[in-house]
Amino acid sequence: MTTTQPDVAPNEQAQSFLSRDVHHLLIDGQRFAAASGETLTTTNPSTGEVLARFAAGGASDVDRAVLAARKAFNGPWSTWTPYERQALLTRIAQVLDEKFEELIQIEAMDMGAPLSRLRNTKPALMKMLSFFTSQATSISGETLMNGIPGNVTTMTLKAPVGVIGGIIPWNGPLNSQFWIIGAVLASGCTAVLKPASEASLSVLRVAEILLEAGTPAGVINVVTGSGSSAGHALAAHPDVDRIAFTGSTETGRRIIEASTVNIKKLQLELGGKSADIICSDADLDKAVPGAAMGVFANSGQICFAGTRVLVQRPIVEEFTRRLLEFMETLRVGNSLDDNATMGPVISENQLDSVLSYIDIGRNEGAELLMGGQRLGGDFENGYFMQPSVFGGVTNKMRIAREEIFGPVLSIMPFDDVDEAIAIANDSEYGLGGAVWSENLSTALRVVHGVHTGTMWVNCYGYIDPLVGFSGTKLSGYGSKGTTAHMDNYLYTKSVYVQL
Ligand code: NAD
């Protein structure tokens, strides 16, 4: 690992947005202070300095936003044809294309992902928009046969469900908000978005861009604030029809409880502890960087990070040597530094939590092979952590069972494929996972054997909305991507027509 901390500054457009005194709530196309007048601050994780101040929305702000979303749902927006909604999504894609650099600079400073990584996310964002643009004109029910005497025609219609509450995590809000926004605009729903208080800015800026692109006021509203206040109020609101939530399993449980007030259907994408299985016949030229970046991308703050790296015993030594060599090529640095490949973690709290797992791992008997420390010197004010590797990890250890959500990789030896599958399945979570093998039969045996929502073979981390992505067990339910995603935003009406 090398480090880099030159003088860096955001571009003019990002700077102009960031220099506002307070970032207000965005409700019904207008900016408002929180009803309480209270604000929160967000910190640049690369420097530890306050980056911006934003409204601390609470229950009455959520009420106001839900009212605006309901009014918009029942207003002229409900008469837009699928073609009109499709044209809106096309315009939004064009504007995002033009403003992408500004948005990633805001995102980099707000949540710490390096620009090099964020630039690479552009094709994924554009693909997502393209997917939802096509979905706007693809919603369909069925004409069904029936056994009713007489001349009765029967069919199902798909209709937009209403107001969506979108609760967004901090680990990549610029892209992840579009799983909600895209489906809302394609289906004809409306939404109130609640970004994470650690990283709200790209969601606020995108909401403004959506208005500029012609989205009617009230269709997408944003209430910033804490999870326990604004988030809880949204999840418990009786006039919110569905919740789309991405975040931790613990918060997912609270949202399920809150949703009982009006039996909201939920789309929950939760935590993970995914197994990345490296068989002895794997092509290590690909498996080593693939497994490493399956953990260290976004400083390990990815729900499907393959943090349990299961390596077949005959190649443990060679894999480990090559992994440590590869890690020398990682460049940790300020998120605005074009040369950085790994940024800080999101906050001091998160850094403390990740460092505590280093102690836990050591005390459990795992061998720390690299890293394990906070960066000092030029980096001491930011939340930088050395990318870290533990060897000799067993699946009973807490570092193999709990989601660390930081740049910590555990190497876990196994003897045969059945054992690897058993270890992979010995987890409360079931989100991602991968197998690396030159033998397709072996690879598919693992694919069929591992109880998880998504599996990659000889690669890690591809997500395509046409293919989808989902979880099982404590990793949640409700797919992202494919028509199953759209179904979370629609309900089915059965229609009987006596002719
Ligand atoms: P988090 O659960 O702390 O917060 C997520 C969102 O929920 C934030 O907007 C937060 O303000 C809000 N929130 C918190 N308490 C709430 C409450 N009581 N009611 C309603 N909303 C509340 O998660 P995080 O720390 O922002 O993100 C990290 C977690 O998210 C990790 O566990 C990670 O695995 C998971 N994640 C999962 C996916 C996925 O697709 N499965 C993707 C990204 C992140």
Q: Is 386 in the pocket of ligand 1 (CB under 6 A)?
A: no
The ligand 1 atom at the shortest distance from the C-alpha of residue 232 is 19
pLDDT 10s digits, 459-491: 999 999 999 999 999 999 988 999 999 999 999
User: 94 with 147, same domain?
Assistant: yes
pLDDT 10s digits, 200-222: 999 999 999 999 999 999 999 99
pLDDT 10s digits, 118-132: 999 999 999 999 999
pLDDT 10s digits, 48-95: 999 999 999 999 999 999 999 999 999 999 999 999 999 999 999 999
Q: Is 420 in the pocket of ligand 1 (CB under 6 A)?
A: no
Q: Is residue 240 part of a domain?
A: yes
User: 457 with 485, same domain?
Assistant: no
User: 199 with 299, same domain?
Assistant: no
Angstrom distance (rounded) from CA 321 to CA 224: 46
Residues 6+ apart with CB under 8 A from 280: 312, 313, 314, 315
Q: Is 405 in the pocket of ligand 1 (CB under 6 A)?
A: yes
List residues bridging with 333 in a β-sheet.
4
Angstrom distance (rounded) from CA 40 to CA 52: 9
Question: Considering its fold, how many domains does the chain have in total?
Answer: 2
Q: Band the pLDDT of 10: cuts 50, 70, 90.
A: confident
The H-assigned helical ranges of 45-113 are 59-74, 82-111
Q: Is residue 283 part of a domain?
A: yes
- Domain harbouring 298, CATH code: 3.40.309.10
pLDDT 10s digits, 137-153: 999 999 999 999 999 99
Angstrom distance (rounded) from CA 266 to CA 251: 13
Question: Which residue segment(s) compose the domain that 228 sits in?
Answer: 11-270+475-496
pLDDT of residue 4: 63
pLDDT of residue 6: 64
User: 131 with 25, same domain?
Assistant: yes
CA 270 to centroid of ligand 1, rounded, Å? 7
Task: Name the residue with the closest Cα to ligand 1, atom 40.
Answer: 269
pLDDT 10s digits, 337-365: 999 999 999 999 999 999 999 999 999 99
pLDDT of residue 256: 97
User: 458 with 483, same domain?
Assistant: no
pLDDT 10s digits, 408-440: 999 999 999 999 999 999 999 999 999 999 999
With a cut of 90, say whether residue 155 has pLDDT above it.
yes
Task: Name the residue with the closest Cα to ligand 1, atom 8.
Answer: 196
With a cut of 90, say whether residue 2 has pLDDT above it.
no
User: 237 with 356, same domain?
Assistant: no
pLDDT 10s digits, 287-323: 999 999 999 999 999 999 999 999 999 999 999 999 9
User: 362 with 307, same domain?
Assistant: yes
- Domain harbouring 56, CATH code: 3.40.605.10
pLDDT 10s digits, 13-33: 999 999 999 999 999 999 999
State the catalytic residues: 269, 303
Q: What is the mean pLDDT of the chain?
A: 97
